[in-house]
Structure 1
């Protein structure tokens, strides 16, 4: 009888359907964990990823442009990076193309930053000035487009090549007249050095003729085509985490600090509010829902990037700026950020 019972049990186990295992994914951020990354930390903590059958490991990045290179090398499956960098990558690597499946930042954070007293009240005043930036900085790469849009010759400035941590100190000490950087970093770094908020002047690219998108969720085109429901689930979980972050900023920053123990809570809270205001909670997002990509604007971005990177055969915007993985617009409307 025991033998028959064991045989019956074994048969029942063999006949039972296999339990689906969560899809393991690696998400690469653009930098170390900061407040604007909280959507993914909360999606992990509050079960939004698990609900979509995903087991997501989140890892730091080393720059929004570098994310594309790391994805192509297989360092992660999904990345939060610069869709502008995809223009050159896809032109050079048509067999390993990347796609943008969720336009998180409606505007780039790149810009030219200076201080009062440097004689720079408008972009044309940069003529003859010294600008400090790393070679690969997105603002420096796009500067020729910015210059042309503002009646300035691209070679009318002198570039000082520096490591990222040195540019704000050089500007503050007067060793450079301006820098290119993400305004979200430069603003807080200059203030920490002692600059008065009223003295910080920021020429945001979107406001001065270079209307390009900011960071987005990127992944290999082949993977997106092979696993469309996985991609849609990842986007839904991201949206859920973002809404949680906006309605509960304290929990959002706590989730960041759990992964970056040295994070300054007041600073990261202020930085998150700054970035949400600058790049996420925009009029476009309010009218069309976050993730909306206007075709004409996307084509203009491709043209700007092709000029900046000297790409002769750029991909079409519609080939990689995708909206078919998004939920309906009504589900992409965001709440105001709670005080």
Structure 2
């Protein structure tokens, strides 16, 4: 009797389906972990990824545009990168296209930045000036579009090609009159060098005729087609982490510092608040929810990027600026920043 009971129990165990294993994913950031990445660290720490059946490894990146190339090469499944760079990539690599499944930053952080005393109070004052930037900097690549929108010719300025860590020091020392950079880095770097906040001039591209989107969640188109529910789960977990990061900035930065021990807590707290104001908590997001993509604006971005990159036949905006993975707008409304 005992033997029959044992065999019956053993058979029942063997007949029980194995528990589903979490889907392992690699998320590539645009740079080293910083305050504005807190949503994903909280999503991992508080179980939002796990509840969606995901096991996410977060890895640093080496630039918003580089994320697109790395995704196409298989270095990660999902990335936080520049949807503008997708325009050229998809035109050049139609068999390895990348798509945008969640427009996280409503505005680009790209800007032309200068300081008081350089005679630059408007974009027109850049004529005849020296601008320092790396060759592939987003702002430098887009500068011809910025110039056209502000009555300048691209060759009205002289470019100084520098490594990223050198541009703010060169501006500070007077070796350059302006730089192109993301405001999220340049603003804080210039302050650290001794520039007074009121002396920093930032010509944000979105405010000066180049109304393009900022960083978004990107992934290979093939993966989005094969695993749509995984993508929806990742977006839901991201939203949960983002809402908690906004509600409790202290916990958000603590989650970042747990992964990046060298993170400066006061600096990253301020940086997160700065970027949320600049790129996430925008009027559009407050009205229509984070992740909203206006078709006309997306098409205009493709046109601007095609002009900047010299793409003769760019992909259509609707081919890669996807919205079908988003939850309803009501679920994408964000709380205000907590204390």
TM-score band, normalised by shorter chain: over 0.9
Q: How far 1:5 moved relative to its partner?
A: 3.9
Where does 1:284-303 land on structure 2 (aligned, <5 Å)? 284-303=284-303
Q: How far 1:11 moved relative to its partner?
A: 1.1
The aligned counterpart of 1:244 is: 244
Where does 1:162-241 land on structure 2 (aligned, <5 Å)? 162-241=162-241
Where does 1:1-339 land on structure 2 (aligned, <5 Å)? 1=1, 3-339=3-339
| CA distance in 2: counterparts of 1:151 and 1:158, whole angstroms | 16
| CA distance in 1: counterparts of 2:285 and 2:326, whole angstroms | 13
Q: How far 1:13 moved relative to its partner?
A: 1.5
Q: How far 1:36 moved relative to its partner?
A: 0.4
Q: How far 1:61 moved relative to its partner?
A: 0.3
Q: How far 1:2 moved relative to its partner?
A: 5.2
| CA distance in 2: counterparts of 1:160 and 1:17, whole angstroms | 63
Aligned residues: 339
Q: How far 1:3 moved relative to its partner?
A: 4.2
Structure 1 vs Structure 2 CA RMSD: 0.8
Q: How far 1:7 moved relative to its partner?
A: 2.6
SS at match of 1:94: coil
| CA distance in 2: counterparts of 1:27 and 1:3, whole angstroms | 50
Deviations 1:108-153 (Å, cap 9, x if unpaired)? 0000000010010111111110000000000000000000000000
Q: How far 1:250 moved relative to its partner?
A: 0.2
| CA distance in 1: counterparts of 2:3 and 2:78, whole angstroms | 50
| CA distance in 2: counterparts of 1:335 and 1:103, whole angstroms | 17
| CA distance in 2: counterparts of 1:272 and 1:5, whole angstroms | 61
SS at match of 2:95: helix
Deviations 1:215-242 (Å, cap 9, x if unpaired)? 0000011110111000000000000000
Q: How far 1:15 moved relative to its partner?
A: 1.0
| CA distance in 2: counterparts of 1:260 and 1:168, whole angstroms | 24
| CA distance in 2: counterparts of 1:258 and 1:313, whole angstroms | 45
| CA distance in 1: counterparts of 2:45 and 2:179, whole angstroms | 38
SS at match of 1:266: helix
| CA distance in 2: counterparts of 1:86 and 1:10, whole angstroms | 53
| CA distance in 1: counterparts of 2:115 and 2:56, whole angstroms | 42
SS at match of 2:192: helix
| CA distance in 1: counterparts of 2:14 and 2:218, whole angstroms | 40
SS at match of 2:101: strand
Q: How far 1:6 moved relative to its partner?
A: 3.9
| CA distance in 2: counterparts of 1:261 and 1:130, whole angstroms | 37
SS at match of 1:170: helix
Which stretches of structure 1, 4 residues or longer, exceed 3 Å deviation after superposition?
1-6
Q: How far 1:208 moved relative to its partner?
A: 0.2
Is there any run of 5+ residues in structure 1 with no aligned partner, and where?
Answer: none
| CA distance in 2: counterparts of 1:17 and 1:161, whole angstroms | 59
Deviations 1:148-197 (Å, cap 9, x if unpaired)? 00000001111000000000000000000000000110000000000011
